[in-house]
Structure 1
Amino acid sequence: MHITRVRCTGNPHRKLLTCTRRGARERPAVAAALRELRALAPKAVA
């Protein structure tokens, strides 16, 4: 999996929502993607 961080100028803000099928969060790939999003989201604005 590869996630790219892009620096933004100004004062950007956003709301990040995820949606999975029931039980999908238990799948290793889905769980890993959600972990990465949780880890990277607070650091996304430089």
Structure 2
Amino acid sequence: MVLGALGVEKPYVINQFRRRIADNHNGIPLCCRELLNRRAKL
């Protein structure tokens, strides 16, 4: 969502960003639904 708000629409850039987040956060879900569910359980 953040990338879309910034006007980033290139799939290559989006995939690089997602890969970097996943690599830096050992298994954190990248899907909004999963993130919200995980946050609700805190």
Bin for the TM-score computed over the shorter chain: 0.3 to 0.5
Q: Which has the higher helix share?
A: 2
Larger Rg over CA atoms: 1
Query: Which structure would you say has the larger RCO, counting Cα contacts within 8 Å and 6 or more residues apart?
Result: 1
Q: TM-score, normalised by structure 1?
A: 0.37
Q: TM-score, normalised by structure 2?
A: 0.40
